[in-house]
């Protein structure tokens, strides 16, 4: 029935957001249509980036939304991203017993997190 799916993020600065998701996080650019739409890919997820303004909401609100990116070797990934300027929420990596999490935000304060499943 469905052919594809994506999460669309409304962003205040299109080029800054695109650079964050591709250069900083290392996600792949799938397609870009000028400064009006771009899709970046993580395994199993396409994130659409759309600027706010005339054709979208004027306010950014990520209420009820959080995007998780699964990783292997979470401490190294956190260290690599911190070296690129990302600040993680204290206390850093959290071990829930089921998974290990590290929370951070994109430039528009959309909640993001890294996760690594515990080896039990």
The string of pLDDT tens digits covering residues 21-35 is 999 999 999 999 999
Q: What is the mean pLDDT of the chain?
A: 90
- Measured in whole angstroms, how far is the alpha carbon of residue 37 from the centre of its chain? 16
What's 66-120's CATH class?
Answer: alpha beta
Say how many C-beta atoms besides its own lie within 10 A of residue 81's C-beta.
Answer: 19
Closest CA to 111 of 100, 101, 120: 101
Mean pLDDT of 4-19: 92
What's the residue count for the chain? 120
- Asked if the domains at 1-54 and 66-120 fall in one CATH topology, the answer is yes
Can you give the residue ranges of every domain in the chain? 1-54, 66-120
Q: Strand, coil or helix: what is 78?
A: helix
Integer angstrom CA distances of residue 98 from 55, 94, 116: 41, 10, 9
Query: What backbone phi and psi angles, to 5 degrees, belong to 80?
Result: -65, -45
Token output for 113: 């997190």
Topology of domain 1-54, CATH: 2,3-Dihydroxybiphenyl 1,2-Dioxygenase; domain 1 (3.10.180)
Confidence of residue 65 (pLDDT cuts 50, 70, 90): confident
Kindly report each contact of residues 95-100 with a partner whose C-beta sits within 8 Å and lies 24 or more positions away, as own/partner.
Answer: 100/74
Vertex 42, ends 38 and 48: CA angle to 5°? 25
């Amino acid at each position: 029935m469905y052919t594809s799916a994506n999460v669309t993020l409304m962003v205040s600065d299109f080029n800054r957001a695109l650079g964050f998701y591709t250069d900083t996080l290392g996600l792949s650019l799938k397609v870009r249509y000028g400064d009006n739409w771009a899709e970046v890919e993580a395994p199993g997820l396409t994130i659409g980036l759309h600027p706010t303004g005339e054709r979208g909401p004027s306010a950014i609100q990520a209420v009820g939304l959080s995007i998780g990116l699964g990783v292997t070797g979470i401490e190294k990934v956190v260290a690599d991203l911190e070296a690129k300027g990302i600040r993680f929420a204290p206390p850093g990596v959290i071990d829930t017993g089921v998974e290990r999490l590290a929370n951070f935000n994109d430039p528009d304060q959309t909640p993001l997190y890294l996760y690594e499943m515990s080896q039990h």
